[in-house]
A and B are shown apart, each in its own frame.
Chain A
Amino acid sequence: MMPHDHHDHDHPAPPALPPAARRLLALRALLVEAGHLDPARLAEVLHVIDQRSPRLGALVVARAWTDPDFAERLRKDARTAIASIGIDPGPAPLVVLENTAEVHNVVVCTLCSCYPRALLGPPPDWYKSRAYRARVVRWPRAVLSEFGTSLPEQVAVRVHDSTADLRYLVIPERPAATTGWSVERLAGLVGRDAMIGVQRTLSV
């Protein structure tokens, strides 16, 4: 008898999960069974993570553009300033990096993938790639140009390696011709890549 001879009806097999997903599910089941993990708490945490997106960081940037007092507080203590406008800044100390006509900032974590998740959501895959992590500290201008950002010679690059306890948010320059715009409308101009620093110029 052939192995499949018993098939007298259709029952298509579900697609197999990748090995990493199977490991994750097995680990989760074990942790729940052993009482180390509460599934309800896990669902809550996942819900919080799902709420985070670059929109939050964009609101911080737009507020900094329009409110000099907030911008000053952001420079001194970013976490407290951000909490004061009703946005959860996350648990880690946060540093804002302001782009100027003379300086461009770009963020990487060469050791892993540290990222201001509270303000930007989960990092993009390229941010976690070995290529980005290894190359942006070695050839920052070349890597930026691969993202479509060509920096004039006179603009200095600051590469921030987020190796430890701090998180970084780049504040791009406010585009010209946005005078009088509301915070909401300005925030619509600010994307994730600009707040990581691989994009310099915002299009209006």
Chain B
Amino acid sequence: MIPELTPGTPVRIARRTPAGHVRVPGYAMGARGIVLSGYGPAEDPETLAYGVRGEPRRVYRVRVSMAELWPGDGTGENDALEIEIYDHWLAPLEGPHDAP
């Protein structure tokens, strides 16, 4: 079980392309964000897609700024995406120097 992430924790969404069903949209992979809230236990859709109940997951609402997703795009400074991400796709950020 992955340690629970508390609201406010800075995280990075993993960038990986495993074979099969993936529940993280490509545009959000690799992005840095902030945990807003957590829900669970949740079933892992990436194993459920094959009829297998995997590890129980937590699913987090993560806020990612539009500037992080689309740098240099001139989107509003405060505009943001809020997206649901399962725990095995999230890692706490190491520090301010954890560059994209």
Taking beta carbons and an 8 Å cutoff, which residues of A are in contact with B?
Answer: 93, 95, 110-111, 137-141, 153, 156-166
Contacts and interface: CB of A to CB of B under 8 A. Distances in A.
Contacts of B63: 158
Contact of A166 (B24, B61, B70, B79): B61
Contacts, number: 68
Interface of B: 23-25, 27-28, 39, 42, 45, 59, 61, 63, 66, 69-70, 75-76, 78-86
Contact of B82 (A93, A138, A141, A161): A161
B27 A164 contact: no
A162 B59 CA distance: 12
Contact of A156 (B69, B78, B86): B78
Secondary structure call for the A interface: loop
Contacts of A93: 39
B82 A165 contact: no
A63 B79 CA distance: 29
B84 A153 contact: no
Nearest to B22: A111
A137 B61 contact: no
A196 to B, nearest CB: 15
Nearest to A164: B84
A153 B82 contact: no
A163 B24 contact: yes
Given A111-B25, A164-B59, A165-B59, A137 B81 contact: yes
